[in-house]
Amino acid sequence: MPRFSANLSMLFTELPFQERFAAAARAGFSAVEIQFPYGLPAVELASALGDTRQRLVLHNLPPGDWDGGERGIACHPGREAEFRDGVEQGLEYCVRLGCPQLNCLAGIPPPGVDPAEAWAVFRANLRHAASRLAAHHRRLLIEPINTRDVPGFLLNRSDAALALIRELRLDNLFLQYDVYHMQIMEGDLSRGLERAGDRLGHVQIADVPGRHQPGTGEIRFPHLFRWLATLGYAGYVGCEYIPLAGTMESLGWLKEAGG
């Protein structure tokens, strides 16, 4: 069965953020991920990880104005300097916290921007980010996001992400495959994961519809977990879902999965 990580931005939200690390450890998780760690100093996060013997396996690059509706700025013409500053900030946290990989959100192209220009900016920004992360032996991930929840998101299918990875030929560029997003956009999750091959860098889970815990919707997670083992996937599976009730009450599926 896969190794599971708790996404502390979505799980244990009934607790103050600093207390979620210990809660995850009590629930049996030895690894965590965070969407955006930048609200706390890296030294505080490092202390929380050390105190609970947790490993941070993933966080995102800064997304721009999240509260204002931005979902990444990697495809925004004219904001390349801001993106590069974000790479440095993300890399600093990544190195100080011992995190092996960073996810780059492509973003929603601004109104009036030609799609071809948005893709060109995204490619250039990925080349820069991958180069900076490679200097510190870190991986860069790209994640397709569904356009039902995030209308207009530039990168919204796994085949487009894999085509981009093949085109750029960057050794440390990988796919982050969120089964929630890809069930909405593509379905046929088994084939989607298989197509990723050795470019599958990270997997995240939530059921459809509702983005709740496994077992609340249409995805056959027992099959999915067995399939990941068949494929030889050795990375973590991030639990990035919205618990229907409390987090602890949502974890029954984890015991059944052997986590």
SS3 28: coil
218 among known catalytic residues: no
240 among known catalytic residues: yes
Q: What is the residue whose two structure tokens read 């250039």?
A: 124
Angle at 236 between CA 234 and CA 240, to 5 degrees: 150
- Per-position b or e across 200-215, b if 16+ CB within 10 A of its CB: bbbbbbbbbeebbbbe
Structure tokens at 239: 């639990």
How many residues belong to the chain? 259
Beta strand ranges found along 105-155 (DSSP E): 139-142
Structure tokens at 103: 């996810």
Q: Distance between CA atoms of 165 and 122, rounded to whole angstroms?
A: 12
> What is the phi/psi pair of residue 143, to 5°?
-130, 120
> What number of other Cβ atoms are within 10 A of residue 95's Cβ?
14
Structure tokens at 66: 């999240």
SS3 33: strand
Q: Distance between CA atoms of 138 and 101, rounded to whole angstroms?
A: 5
Enumerate residues 6+ apart whose C-beta is below 8 A from 226: none
Pick the catalytic residue: 44, 82, 194, 240?
A: 240
Pick the catalytic residue: 82, 143, 194, 256?
A: 143
Q: Which residues are catalytic?
A: 143, 240
